[in-house]
Amino acid sequence: MPNVEVCLSPELIHLFDLKGKIVVVTDILRATSCMTTGIASGVAHIKPVATLQECEALKQEGYFTAAERNGAKVNGFDIGNSPFSYMEDRFKGKKIATTTTNGTVAITKSTEADEVVIGAFLNLSTIANYLIEEGKDAIIHCAGWKGNYSLEDTLFAGALIEKIQLRFELGDDASASALTNYQAVKNNLLGTILSSSHAKRLEKYIRKDIELCATLDKYDVIPILKEGILVKK
Amino acid sequence: MPNVEVCLSPELIHLFDLKGKIVVVTDILRATSCMTTGIASGVAHIKPVATLQECEALKQEGYFTAAERNGAKVNGFDIGNSPFSYMEDRFKGKKIATTTTNGTVAITKSTEADEVVIGAFLNLSTIANYLIEEGKDAIIHCAGWKGNYSLEDTLFAGALIEKIQLRFELGDDASASALTNYQAVKNNLLGTILSSSHAKRLEKYIRKDIELCATLDKYDVIPILKEGILVKK
What does the alpha-carbon distance between residue A4 and residue B12 come to, in Å, rounded to a whole number?
22
User: B-contacting residues of A 101-140, CB under 8 Å?
Assistant: none
Per-residue pLDDT of chain A (233 residues; tens, 9 = 90+): 999 999 999 999 999 999 999 999 999 999 999 999 999 999 999 999 989 999 999 999 999 999 988 888 999 999 999 999 999 999 999 999 999 888 889 999 999 999 999 999 999 999 999 999 999 999 999 999 999 999 999 999 999 999 999 999 999 999 999 999 999 999 999 999 999 988 888 766 688 999 999 999 999 999 999 999 999 99
Show the CA angle centred on residue A17, arms to residues A13 and A21, nearest 5°.
105
What does the alpha-carbon distance between residue B115 and residue A105 come to, in Å, rounded to a whole number?
34
B97 to chain A, closest Cα gap in Å: 29
**Complex ipTM > 0.85:** yes
| Minimal Cβ distance to B177: which of A147, A151, A183 | A151
| Minimal Cβ distance to A173: which of B150, B173, B185 | B150
What does the alpha-carbon distance between residue A48 and residue A45 come to, in Å, rounded to a whole number?
10
What does the alpha-carbon distance between residue B85 and residue B213 come to, in Å, rounded to a whole number?
13
Mean pLDDT score of chain B: 95
Superfamily of domain B3-232: ComB-like (3.90.1560.10)
B150 to chain A, closest Cα gap in Å: 6
What single-letter DSSP state applies at residue A94?
-
Residue of A nearest to B153 (CA): A173
Picking from B137, B107, B82, B145, the residue whose alpha carbon sits closest to that of residue B226 is B107
Q: Is A174 on the interface with B (CB under 8 A)?
A: yes
Domain boundaries, chain B: 3-232
For an interface test with B, the pick among A170, A177, A185, A192 (most B C-beta atoms closer than 10 Å) comes out as: A177
This prediction's pTM = 0.95
What digits encode the pLDDT tens for the residues A45-61? Answer: 999 998 999 999 999 99
**What are the residues whose beta carbons fall under 8 Å from the beta carbon of B210, sequence distance 6 or more?**
B29, B190, B193, B194, B199, B202, B203
H or E element at residue B68: strand B64-69
Q: Is A188 on the interface with B (CB under 8 A)?
A: no
What digits encode the pLDDT tens for the residues B162-206? Answer: 999 999 999 999 999 999 999 999 999 999 999 998 888 876 668
For an interface test with A, the pick among B4, B15, B173 (most A C-beta atoms closer than 10 Å) comes out as: B173
Interchain CB contacts (distance < 8 Å): A and B:
77
